[in-house]
Amino acid sequence: MTKQRDMKCDVVVVGGGSAGVAAAIGAAQTGADTILIEKNPYFGGAATHSSVLTYCGFFTQGNPPEQIVGGVGQKVLNNLSKIGMYDGPKRTPHTGTVIVLLDPEATKIALDNCIAENNVKPLLHVQVIGTNVEDGKIKAIECVDHSGRFTIEAEAFIDASGEANLTALAGGEYICGNEKGTFQAGTLMIRIGGVREESNAHPLEVQKAIKLGKEHGIAALTKELGTIVRMPGSKDVLAILADEGVNGLDSVSMTKAEMSARKQAWGYLEAFKKYLPGFENAYLVQTGPQIGIRETRHIVGDYILTHSDVLNARRHNDSIGRGGWPMESHSEPGAPNVWQSIANNSYYDIPLRSLKVRNINNLWAAGRTIACDPDAFASVRVMGTAFATGHAAGVTAALYCQHGFVDPVSVRNELLIQDAII
C-alpha cells in the first residue's frame, strides 16, 4: 500500500546544484512531470553552499570569448541580470580566464525563480538514502526528511549529486578519483570584508603577504598562489586558498578537513591584515559554509571523455554540449594549480554517451560526475559546463519517458529547440 507521503512522477533529479537545476528544468520543458531533490535549504550546490562564486565554462578562453553554454544556463544568467547581478563575463586577474562573478543571495533567488517559472516540483531539505532497483532499472528512491522516510517512484532518474550518490546507492558502476584512487584537493572559500576599495589584491601581492605570514610563524597556511576576486554587490574579497587533502565521501575525513581549513582561514586573515596593503581593517565575513569538494566518484559511462578529447577540441556526433574551461588540476593541497589549454582556446564536444550510467538502464549523470578521465575531469567539472550536461540529461530522461528509448538525434533536436548551444 502506498503511504500518504510517497510520491510518483516521470523524472526525479537528485541534487540541486548547477547540473541538477538545469536537468530538472530541461526535463520539465520537455514535458516530464519532474521532481528536483536537494538536501540543503537552497539550490546552487557548490556555488551557494561552498561559496564557489564564479561560474566558469560559459565562455571559451579565446579573444573575444565565445559563449558556449545557452539554454537553461542562459535562463539563470538572465535572472541574475534582472536583479542587477550579471552584466557580462569578466577576466580573472593573473590567469586571464573568462568567468561570471556571482553574489550568493542573488544566485539563490535567481535559481528559485528559474525553478518556479519552469514547472519543476522542488523538494528542499530532503536527502536520498536508498533505491529500489529491479531488472537493471531504478523503480523508486528512498528519501528522508525530519518526518521520516518516504519513496518516490519514477520512470527515469538523474544523478546530479556531485558525488554520484544515486549511482552508488543503485549499484551503478563508478570509479573513485584518479587511477590511484586519490582526489583533487578540497578548498574552503574565505570571504573577507572591510578591504579598502582601491586595493586590487593581485594574486602576486597576496602571495607575498602569505609568504611573509609563513615566515613570521602564522600556523596552518597552505596555498600561496590562488584565485582572488572581488565579488559583485558587496565588493568583498573571495580567496580560494585554504586547501585540504580530503575524502569528501567520508565524514571523519570531512570533519578533520572542515576544522583544519577554518583554522587556515583565520591564519590567512591574520597574514592579510598584517602584510597586505588595504586589508588593515579586514574581517572574516564567511567561510564555506561547507568546504568545497572538487572530486569524489565518477560514473562509468558508455563513453569516457578523455584528455585527448579535451586537449584537441574533439567533435562528437552525439554531442549534447560544449566544454571550454582549460583543464585545471588541484592535485596536491597547497601546490599551484596545473593548467592545460584546449586547442586554440576553443571548445570540445561532450557526447551523450558520457552521461549514461553503463549498467542502469534509466539513469543518467550530470555535472561533475559524468564519465571522464582525470584530465578531462579537470575541465568538465566547472559549473557552466554542469548547466550544459544537466540540461542534456534532463531532456534525455524526459524523452526516454515518452519513447522508452533514447535517440541522440532527437535529444540534440530538442536541446536546440530549448536554445542550448551544441
Residues engaged in binding ligand FAD (CB under 6 A): 14-20, 37-40, 45-46, 49-50, 52, 54-57, 127-128, 160-163, 165, 186-187, 240, 292-294, 367-368, 381-384, 386
Shortest gap between Cβ of 163 and ligand FAD (angstroms)? 6
Between 244 and 309, CB nearer to ligand FAD: 244
Judged by CB, which is closer to ligand FAD: 223, or 412? 223
Smallest distance from ligand FAD to CB 310, Å: 15
Least CB distance to ligand FAD at residue 384 (A): 6
Nearer to ligand FAD, 201 or 275 (CB): 201
Smallest distance, ligand FAD to C-beta of residue 227, A: 7
Minimum Å distance from CB 58 to ligand FAD?
9
Check the CA dihedral 153-158-163-164 and report its sign.
positive
Nearest to 83 by CA among 231, 191, 233: 233
Sign of CA dihedral 404, 409, 414, 420: positive
Query: Smaller CB distance to ligand FAD: residue 264 or 275?
Result: 264
Residue 237 vs 275, nearer CB to ligand FAD: 237
Question: CB 208 → ligand FAD: shortest distance, Å?
Answer: 23
CB of 76 to ligand FAD, least distance (A): 12
Closer to ligand FAD by Cβ: residue 54 or 287: 54
Q: Are 420 and 30 in contact (CB under 8 A)?
A: no
Minimum Å distance from CB 186 to ligand FAD? 6
For ligand FAD, the closer of residues 26 and 292 by Cβ is 292
- Least separation, in Å, of the C-beta of 280 and ligand FAD? 27
CA distance 226 to 316: 34
CB of 404 to ligand FAD, least distance (A): 27
Residue number, 325 or 400, with CB nearest to ligand FAD: 325
Name which of 151 and 275 has its Cβ closer to ligand FAD. 151
**SS3 of the chain:** CCCCCCEECCEEEECCEHHHHHHHHHHHHCCCCEEEECCCCCCECHHHHCCCCEEECCECCCCCCCECCCHHHHHHHHHHHHCCCCCCCEECCCCCCEEEECCHHHHHHHHHHHHHHCCCEEECCCEEEEEEEECCEEEEEEEEECCEEEEEECCEEEECCCCCHHHHHCCCCEEECCCCCCCCCEEEEEEEECCCCCCCCCHHHHHHHHHHHHHCCCCCCCCCCCEEEECCCCCCEEEEEEEECCCCCCHHHHHHHHHHHHHHHHHHHHHHHHHCCCCCCCEEEEECCCCECCCCEEECECCCECHHHHHCCCCCCCEEEEECCCEEECCCCCCCCEEECCHHHCCEEEEHHHHEECCCCCEEECHHHCCECHHHHHHHCCHHHHHHHHHHHHHHHHHHHHHCCCCHHHHHHHHHHCCCCC
* Residue bearing cell 520539465: 28
Cα four-point dihedral sign 72, 346, 96, 208: positive
Select 85 or 275, whichever has its Cβ closest to ligand FAD: 85
